[in-house]
């Protein structure tokens, strides 16, 4: 199975777009998304220095536009992608690119959202001097306890030996004076404490905008940063992306879900290297591909051919399907019984695993057409459970 991932802020480097923009088709598409964002992203990706592209308002639209346009070079006919992509995920702002790639939102919607996200996060970061520090190595429990004791937030949990602490500069300074045993601290060149309560004002702004966005159910599995769950319903995908601005990124749980899915290959969109590097350490035996330039297109397509398989979610639009958010044992809810009509938001059952138990809801509701599993069946993340006619479509 193939998973395609999109990197988050910090992956950008000066001049990384130069080889891409030599292709007229890439340049034209990139110019279109730059126009939507209201920024000269071509300039920032080719001529701007590291300090300039560190700016949140520039870095985030630059990364999302790059991921979206380079994806069109891998899949000139976008509909073909869903016969090969088992799941998508994005780290932090990369979730917006993943959502657009899964067709939960459009590319234009993605660019408006990321433009406003970058502005709002920059404004929130300006209120109080804050920052982030990577904690490398050490005992996981001790690291998390030390972060909490310092009043910091584990804003990025990227798996074994890599947690990012975030908070005020005073808190980070105190943390540096009393670091966890056997851990190395590396201050990050970021503009604020992302994915913490300091970003709450940005959440409010994006919630207001997101209310006007029309969404569609994802056409492949979307693995959420919040808890590693597979999310299918478009409105839920968007709601999670907005809330994630002030909540920790649980990339460790995203990788756990990839493992549950049986992933064999991970391809990272440009500028690539960060997420494939994490995967090499955490997902032993899984092949990775860092897609960084147009000269790699043939090699990247061969990688996709080797690992690709459909997610099974590219269904006729007249159907709605409820999917499992996680791996575990599915139990049909007692309240649903033998009913033929499911109310919007009703629980259809639960998925129990060794980690926890998750309620499964039919967010749209509708007429039951077909149960695709039985009570007590083992299910995988994103597996279709129930097929519905949308309420009001009959």
Cis peptide before 271 (omega within 30 of 0): yes
First and final CA of the chain: distance in angstroms? 36
In whole angstroms, give the CA distance from residue 50 to residue 187.
16
Answer yes or no: 91 catalytic.
Answer: no
247 flagged as catalytic: no
DSSP 8-state assignment for residue 315:
-
Residue 230 backbone dihedrals phi, psi, to 5 degrees: -85, 130
All residues at 6 or more sequence positions from 47 whose CB lies less than 8 Å from its CB, including other chains: 15
| DSSP code at position 81 | G
Q: Where do we find the tokens 């138990």? A: 357
* Residue that has been written with the tokens 């999310």 in this structure: 231
Going by their DSSP bridges, the two strands 230-231 and 265-268 should be labelled as unpaired
What SS3 state is found at 126? coil
**Bridge partners of residue 154, in order along the sequence:** 165
Q: Which of 34, 70, 146, 195 is catalytic?
A: 195
Marked catalytic residue, from 70, 92, 246, 247: 92
Nearest-CA neighbor of 122 among 60, 65, 208, 50? 60
Catalytic residues: 92, 195
């Amino acid at each position: 199975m193939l998973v395609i991932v999109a990197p988050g802020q910090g992956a950008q480097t000066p001049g990384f777009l130069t080889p891409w923009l030599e292709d007229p088709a890439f340049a034209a598409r990139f110019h279109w998304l730059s126009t939507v964002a209201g920024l000269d992203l071509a300039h920032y990706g080719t001529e701007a220095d590291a300090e300039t592209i560190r700016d949140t308002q520039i870095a985030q639209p630059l990364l999302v536009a790059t991921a979206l346009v380079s994806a069109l070079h891998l899949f000139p006919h976008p509909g073909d992608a869903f016969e090969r992509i088992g799941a998508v995920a994005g780290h932090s702002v990369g979730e917006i690119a993943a959502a657009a790639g899964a067709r939960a939102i459009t590319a234009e919607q993605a660019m408006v959202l990321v433009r406003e996200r970058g502005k709002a996060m920059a404004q929130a970061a300006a209120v109080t001097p804050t920052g982030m520090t990577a904690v490398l190595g050490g005992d996981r429990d001790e690291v998390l306890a030390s972060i909490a004791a310092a009043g910091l937030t584990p804003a990025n949990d990227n798996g074994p030996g890599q947690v990012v602490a975030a908070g005020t500069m005073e808190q980070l300074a105190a943390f540096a004076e009393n670091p966890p045993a056997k851990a190395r601290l590396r201050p990050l060149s970021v503009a604020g404490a992302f994915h913490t309560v300091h970003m709450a004002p940005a959440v409010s702004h994006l919630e207001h905008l997101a209310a006007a966005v029309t969404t569609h159910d994802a056409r492949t599995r979307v693995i959420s940063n919040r808890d590693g769950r597979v999310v299918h319903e478009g409105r839920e995908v968007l709601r999670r992306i907005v809330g994630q601005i002030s909540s920790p990124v649980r990339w460790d749980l995203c990788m756990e879900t990839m493992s549950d899915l049986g992933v064999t290959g991970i391809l990272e969109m440009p500028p690539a290297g960060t997420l494939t590097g994490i995967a090499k350490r955490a997902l032993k035996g899984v092949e990775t591909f860092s897609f960084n330039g147009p000269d790699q297109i043939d090699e990247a397509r061969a990688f996709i051919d080797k690992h690709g398989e459909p997610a099974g979610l590219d269904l006729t639009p007249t159907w709605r399907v409820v999917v499992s958010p996680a791996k575990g044992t599915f139990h049909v809810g007692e309240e649903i019984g033998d009913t033929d009509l499911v109310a919007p938001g009703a629980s259809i059952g639960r998925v129990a695993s060794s980690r926890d138990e998750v309620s499964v809801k039919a967010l749209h509701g509708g007429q039951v057409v077909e149960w695709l599993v039985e009570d007590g069946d083992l299910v995988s993340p994103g597996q279709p459970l129930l097929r519905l006619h949308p309420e009001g479509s009959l």
